[in-house]
Amino acid sequence: MNISPPHRLRLDGAALVANWRWLKQQGGNAACGAAVKADGYGLGAREVVARLAAAGCRDFFVATWAEAAALMPLPQGTALSVLHGVRPEDMAAAKSIAARPVLNSPEQVRRWRAAGGGACDVMIDTGINRLGIAPEDADVLDGLAIETLMSHLACADEDVPQNAAQRRALLAVAERVPHRRLSLANSAGLCLGPGYALDLTRPGLALYGGVPRPEAAGHIRQAAFPEAQVLQRRRVSAGGSVGYNATWTAAGDTEIAILNLGYADGILRGFSGTGRALADGRALPFLGRVSMDLIAVDATAAPALAEGDWVTIDYDLPIAAAASGLSQYELLTGLGDRFQRCWVN
Ligand SMILES: *Cc1c(COP(=O)(O)O)cnc(C)c1O
């Protein structure tokens, strides 16, 4: 049966591609890749890869081999790197799937060699202390066929000396470790200046509408728009309360609309009393607590809004992050499976 769900995620393919083009331009002559882990930050990795590949993107990044397998076969002429490298239980997949591991430790390097080696990427830890081979252990890389030698910035969204220090540390390793391309910048790193782009960049967040640093504001377009149907319109009399724990009480008679989505869809309770929906450009503030599957909004500004009408949740990422206390990353990757993903453009 084809049941159309009461909420959907409208995805703007033109915004996605425009964001990639802007990021590519920031990187000058560097190739611009795309991080599509976590199912393309919640938008749908397969669709994202197809659209960016058509725009000219050649290098994609996922976290795990399960994510890599789900993207096969890749569009012609593109390559995929698996950021978490190879656990013992990944080796069969790593040898059969057309993707490269990003080797992250001496153990992973030994494992890859023992299985016959072949083209790989390597992560150098230059200070994030999360994944990566320490510069002093770089001797274990002797003789490896390294496609991309990379590192990852810990604080690229801040103006701190650590950014330049990490860049210097990567360049120092690059002098003694043969590689084809060098890569450092994520979305925020791309905003730090031309010296950070090197040969290949790896933006994620900003492709999907996140604004990682002030330099990107006004250039990055929102790409994901949660939309929900009105399930019911009602009037709350003065003194009446709305939702669990009665956290909002009507000062006067108030027209409200009940939306068919909630925290189970990723619109978390941090939006209670701070989020808003938009109906024909008019703001409808959330009232009371966000429930699992329902959200109440003030419908005063939309007198004609009725059962069955669709509204858009205000999900401009910097605004929604400030309203909810969540990061722009969490806002995207938390969007639930119940949303029907609908690409426009
Ligand atoms: C997720 C990730 C990226 C993309 O980062 P954004 O901040 O989303 O642009 C790039 N490189 C690595 C290693 C990552 O894990």
Ligand 1 center from residue 122 Cα (angstroms): 15
- The reply to whether 199 and 90 lie within a common domain is yes
The answer to whether residues 132 and 151 touch, using CB atoms and an 8 Å cutoff, is: yes
Active site annotation includes 95: no
Alpha-helical regions (H) of 180-310: 187-190
Q: If residue 80 lies in a helix (H) or strand (E), which one and from where to where? A: strand 79-82
72 is in an annotated binding site: no
- The reply to whether 267 and 171 lie within a common domain is no
Mean residue pLDDT across the chain: 97
The pLDDT value recorded for residue 335 is 98
In angstroms, the CA 167 to CA 204 distance is: 19
- The reply to whether 82 and 190 lie within a common domain is yes
Instruction: Decide the pairing of beta strands 59-62 and 79-82.
Output: parallel
Question: For ligand 1, is residue 38 a contact (CB within 6 Å)?
Answer: no
- The reply to whether 269 and 130 lie within a common domain is no
Exposure string for 105-123, b = 16+ CB within 10 A, e = fewer: beebbebbeeeeeeebbbb
**Domain termination residue (choose one: 209, 238, 261):** 209
- The reply to whether 205 and 325 lie within a common domain is no
Average pLDDT over residues 21-45: 98
Residue 296 has pLDDT above 90, yes or no: yes
pLDDT, tens digit, 9 for 90 and up, residues 216-247:
999 999 999 999 999 999 999 999 999 999 99
Ligand 1: residue of 59, 80, 152 to mutate (most ligand atoms within 8 A of CB) is: 152
pLDDT, tens digit, 9 for 90 and up, residues 87-144:
999 999 999 999 999 999 999 999 999 999 999 999 999 999 999 999 999 999 999 9
Classify 21 as helix, strand or coil: helix
**Domain termination residue (choose one: 209, 236, 270):** 209
Average pLDDT over residues 235-263: 98
The pLDDT value recorded for residue 2 is 82
pLDDT, tens digit, 9 for 90 and up, residues 307-330:
999 999 999 999 999 999 999 999
Question: For ligand 1, is residue 186 a contact (CB within 6 Å)?
Answer: yes
- The reply to whether 17 and 164 lie within a common domain is yes
Owning domain of residue 268: 224-344
Q: If residue 48 lies in a helix (H) or strand (E), which one and from where to where? A: helix 45-55
In angstroms, the CA 163 to CA 172 distance is: 14
Asked if residue 317 is part of any domain, the answer here is yes
Asked if residue 114 is part of any domain, the answer here is yes
Dihedral pair phi/psi, residue 156, rounded to 5°? -65, -20
The pLDDT value recorded for residue 3 is 87
In angstroms, the CA 195 to CA 212 distance is: 18
- The reply to whether 273 and 330 lie within a common domain is yes
292 is in an annotated binding site: yes
